[in-house]
Amino acid sequence: MIIAQKVLRNVSLTAHPQGCAEYVCQQVEWVKRQVAQHMDNRYANPNPSAFPKRVLVVGGSTGYGLSSRIVAAIVGKAGTINVSFEREPTEHKTATPGWYNTIAFERIARKNNVFAASVFGDAYAHAVKESAAAMIKKEFGSIDLLVYSLASPLRVDEKTNRTYRSVIKPIETAYEALSVDVSTGMISRTVVEPAEDSQVEETVKVMGGEDWQQWISYLQQEQLLSEGFKTVAFSYIGPELTYPIYRNGTIGKAKEHLEQTAIQLTSDLSSVRGQAFVAVNKAIVTRASAVIPVVPLYIALLYRVMKDKGLHEDCTQQMYRLFSERLYGVGNVPVDSQGRIRVDDWEMSAEVQQAVSRLWDNQHEGSLITGGDLDGFIQDYANIHGFGYDSIDYSADVDPRIVEE
């Protein structure tokens, strides 16, 4: 079939197998070149011997989870196990990008003589935790690092069969802000109504720390965590402008819960001298971020500023910095006053935020976006689904079930 990009309300319905393989390959190549040639001098040289050797990534098929898997495997030569939720392809329907990415990455890992395998299923389910544990037991004995990188719209509670849905809404008062229509570049005013009380609770249930804690406590009970084990989950803070919908909204409550969970987990892990962290990452275009109101406009403006200042990073560089200079750098892991790792430091610097704010003031309802990098947003969004690569012939008839070498 001919696979074209189909996007409905900022959600891509298709993914391209060869394009996803290209997406993975470009990340791997960047990491390899950076280690060998140190071509980007913004980054310190990593110390691969300090890196973890056996890694579990929950949500490791796209976005930050995939990049952390790539960095662990390519820099530290770690064996990696991914747990992710995917739709498999059929003869006439494409798979999720995560399915294609995983096939492509695991092939590269094998060629590099490092172990890589996946458990495809619902990470919230106990049976999936058992499958991952069985794989850890058989292949690794124990793990040195668990990266928790889920971004999920829902969670089914197995005991009650109730479905909890995560929403991105303000709390108590409606949020009104400018937004951009990605397909036309037109600026409009968006109003997001406040969440109902139950939606706050539900979002915390899906995106808070409860499931992360369940993973750790189950693997600890099964004695699958190595001495000096580390675990990291990801958060976001962002500019004050988005506080009402993000940090002070439903998702912010979930992130607060995640941050509290890290503190609890570090105490639970004392018997293996373990540590749990939340890393606050930069805003990037991923499947999850594209559907958050206001975020595409903010990202388009942020990308313009960070690219112009030579500070732009995507998830590969963020994870490279997280591993080399934070989690496995020299000395103690550097954290902020609330114990969080900050790799959003360049995004949140005063010079970047002031420049974004100036650009934001130039946007007007009913006009086209001015001065932002909407093309960069669109390009990244295409790339994460395997589209927009010059090296791929998108008019070719391909079998969506096969990721060619």
Name which of 164 and 226 has its Cβ closer to ligand NAD: 164
Residue 359 φ/ψ, nearest 5 degrees: -65, -40
Pick from 353, 242, 243: nearest CA to 305? 353
What is the b/e burial string over 91-107, where b = at least 16 CB atoms within 10 angstroms of the residue's CB? eeebbbbbbbbbbbbbb
Pick from 307, 287, 293: nearest CA to 372? 307
Which DSSP string do the residues of 4-70 spell out, in sequence order?
---EETTEE----HHHHHHHHHHHHHHHHHHHHH---TTSPPP-GGGS-SEEEEET-SSHHHHHHHH
CA distance 284 to 388: 17
User: Residue 7 is encoded by which pair of tokens?
Assistant: 């996007």
Binding residues (CB under 6 A) for ligand NAD: these are: 59-65, 83-85, 98, 122-124, 149-152, 234-236, 281, 283-284, 286-289
User: Residue 128 is encoded by which pair of tokens?
Assistant: 């999936």
Residues 273, 314: contact at Cβ < 8 Å? no
Report in angstroms how near the CB of residue 163 gets to ligand NAD at its nearest. Answer: 11
Report in angstroms how near the CB of residue 236 gets to ligand NAD at its nearest. Answer: 3
- Exactly one of 164, 246, 381, 389 is catalytic; name it: 246
Name which of 51 and 148 has its Cβ closer to ligand NAD: 148
Burial of 184 (0-12, 13-18, 19+ CB in 10 A): exposed
Report in angstroms how near the CB of residue 186 gets to ligand NAD at its nearest. Answer: 23
Name which of 151 and 226 has its Cβ closer to ligand NAD: 151
Pick from 311, 405, 400, 404: nearest CA to 95? 400
Q: Which residue lies nearest ligand NAD, judged by its C-beta? A: 63
User: Residue 104 is encoded by which pair of tokens?
Assistant: 């492509």
Q: Which CA distances in Å does 127 have to 121, 224, 404?
A: 9, 16, 32
Q: What is the DSSP letter of 367?
A: S
Report in angstroms how near the CB of residue 124 gets to ligand NAD at its nearest. Answer: 5
264-270-274-276 Cα dihedral, nearest 10 degrees: 10
Report in angstroms how near the CB of residue 310 gets to ligand NAD at its nearest. Answer: 20
Residues 328, 52: contact at Cβ < 8 Å? yes
Report in angstroms how near the CB of residue 92 gets to ligand NAD at its nearest. Answer: 22
3-class secondary structure, 333: coil
User: Residue 195 is encoded by which pair of tokens?
Assistant: 């969440």
CA distance 68 to 56: 10
Catalytic residue status for 246: yes
Q: Quick one: how far is CA 7 from the chain centroid?
A: 20
Report in angstroms how near the CB of residue 120 gets to ligand NAD at its nearest. Answer: 8
* Partners of 165 in beta bridges: 154
CA distance 63 to 68: 9
Catalytic site positions: 246
